[in-house]
Structure 1
Amino acid sequence: MTLKNETRSAVLSIGRVYCDLIFTGLQGMPVLGREIFAENMDITAGGGAFIMAAYCAHAGRKTALLSRLGTDALSMGLEGQLAASNVDLRFLDRAAEAGPQVTVAIINEQERAFLSRRAGQAEPATLSMALEWPDARHLHIAEFATLAEIPGLVAAAKAKGLTVSLDPSWDETLIFDRDFLAKCEGVDIFLPNVEEAAAITGETEPLKALDRLSTVFPVIALKAGPEGAYLASRGNVLHHPAKPVQVIDTTGAGDAFNAGFIHSWLDGHDDETCLSDAVAMGTLAVQAAGGATILKC
């Protein structure tokens, strides 16, 4: 399941870094033509690649962020949080056209709304260097959009002996692609949530979606929010419930889940332990506003 060479233990996490503007403490959601006010706003480093990397580093795994960062004021304002995360930034590609890259998140109890802007290309100039990194053992792709822009990414990682994981991440323009699964060839661990799995497979029932996905991926960890998560691996299917906690913000919980699962999987733990560790990490994430805020990045 994992590489035996213990000198190779690090994770590369590839994807876009966003400046997240997170509004909480609202009396309702915005409607056209009316202004409402939020009690709180947090400005945090976001994007699945960074959040996953921060939680993976928090778990004690050497993890490097493989991404691009703009040179504009919003992007540069994230430098402190990125540096404080204990994530290795040696492969961070700084370029003017890579920003500003922003997500506005509006959170009101169980309602969430997002508005994002992507900037520049997804492929960092440091990609080849990162894949040659002697410590690298695993590549995590934080969103299918990155794989769509770099279609040879999985094959390149596998050629260097790395295992690969993929979180599809919701993208309305890509999630319903009929060739979605074919474009994921070679991925070892697939990490969707139930809505993404339903869109990809056409199956709204988690076990049926897992059955369909199992024909493509060796391991599928399916995130089901307050219902916990499911795991399909080697013909076995497991479910692990979520622990009830006070939920502040679910932003980044799926990426924290990914970190918990990958860290445990790379350590060679059994399926139940991998799933339990993943749910625990995701549960930690929902208890603060912002994807990695609870880690004090």
Structure 2
Amino acid sequence: MTSSPNRAGAVLSLGRIYCDMVFRGLDDMPQLGRELFARDFAITPGGGALITAAHVAALGRPSALLARFGTDLLSTAMAGQIDALGLDLQFLDRDELAGPQLTVVMVNNNDRAFLSRRAGHARPASFEAAIAWPQAAHLHIAEYATLHEMTDAIAAAKRHGLTVSLDPSWDDDLIRDPAFFERAAGVDIFLPNAEEAQALTGETDPAAAMSILARHFPLVALKLGGDGAMVSAGGETLRRPSPRVDVIDTTGAGDAFNAGFLHTWLNGAGAGTALAAAIEAGTSSVQASGGTGSLRAAS
């Protein structure tokens, strides 16, 4: 049974912070032994937790980033950009072993490739204080890799009356974890993309994949990229298209989608209304470079 949303509460966004180095304007993808040159480049704070948190804050909802953050030169160089996002940073756990974490993003037309490095463990020292924060209403877990490390995160959030969402966020080593659904038990809102849904269910057809996922989660919002998205709640499934726009960079669009959905759902709206808001947020995101680029362009 899905908990009743808290209309005014804050979202805690749990996950890792990365330095996104985004190379665009490639004529091809890199090959071993060959060098390519990009026509455009941007360096921005990234990671699903930060991007979703930033978009939630931009929508006007209190948004706290719950993450470890390095003290190395690369991490500290991003501090100013993070400060400018309007996030509540009281639960940011600064630790010298938490960085550098970075992702190299290579964009060729609508195709992307990623190369990332994780540092240390995922659990912030501030986790218990964060979920006990009186203003917190919802915990968003931005990647299954974090839940895989913090197997108590969902149960702990529920004990404090928080609703919980999970974006699996593709991970080659974990996306087919046989214990995935067991570890994700208790999640109120599941937010995969089509590739993740296929890996989890074995179904290539989104409707068939959705049918399986709906057995495990009370509310599923399935991202289909340029083909829009689907939502399943209360035994009903709805699909909406996405508008056609000039795509600059799809990095972080799924995380922006998550923010639009969560903010609207927490406001008490139905699944269909939340889906429309999510598609709008994701569509806005792809029209700028980097996961928070659309927020900088709007400011």
| TM more than 0.5 | yes
Q: Deviations over 1:182-228 (max 9, x none)?
A: 11010000000010000001111111111111111000000000000
Show the 5 A alignment for 1:1-297: 3=4, 9-296=9-296
User: What TM-score results when the alignment is normalised by the length of structure 1?
Assistant: 0.98
Preserved contact between residue 5 and residue 137 of structure 2 (Cα < 8 Å): no
Preserved contact between residue 3 and residue 137 of structure 1 (Cα < 8 Å): no
Preserved contact between residue 210 and residue 220 of structure 1 (Cα < 8 Å): yes
Percent of residue pairs identical: 55
Q: Which consecutive unaligned segments of at least 5 residues does structure 2 have? A: none
User: What TM-score results when the alignment is normalised by the length of structure 2?
Assistant: 0.97
Q: 1:4 to 1:119 in 2, by over 3 A?
A: closer
SS in structure 2 at match of 1:262? helix
Match of 2:26, as an amino acid?
Answer: L
Q: 1:4 to 1:113 in 2, by over 3 A?
A: closer
Q: How many residues align structurally?
A: 296
Q: 1:215 to 1:67 in 2, by over 3 A?
A: same
Preserved contact between residue 2 and residue 268 of structure 1 (Cα < 8 Å): no
Preserved contact between residue 13 and residue 66 of structure 1 (Cα < 8 Å): yes
Preserved contact between residue 259 and residue 278 of structure 1 (Cα < 8 Å): yes
Report runs of 4+ in structure 1 exceeding 6 Å deviation.
Answer: none
Match of 2:283, as an amino acid?
Answer: T
Shift of 1:5: 5.7
Shift of 1:81: 1.1
Match of 1:183, as an amino acid?
Answer: R
Q: Which consecutive unaligned segments of at least 5 residues does structure 1 have? A: none
Q: Deviations over 1:136-184 (max 9, x none)?
A: 0000000000000000100000000000000000000000111211110
Match of 2:86, as an amino acid?
Answer: N
Match of 1:222, as an amino acid?
Answer: L
Preserved contact between residue 2 and residue 266 of structure 1 (Cα < 8 Å): no
Shift of 1:3: 3.8
Q: 1:5 to 1:266 in 2, by over 3 A?
A: closer
Match of 1:246, as an amino acid?
Answer: D
Q: Deviations over 1:114-136 (max 9, x none)?
A: 10000011000000110111000
Preserved contact between residue 91 and residue 130 of structure 2 (Cα < 8 Å): yes
Q: Deviations over 1:244-287 (max 9, x none)?
A: 00000100000000000000000011222111000000001100
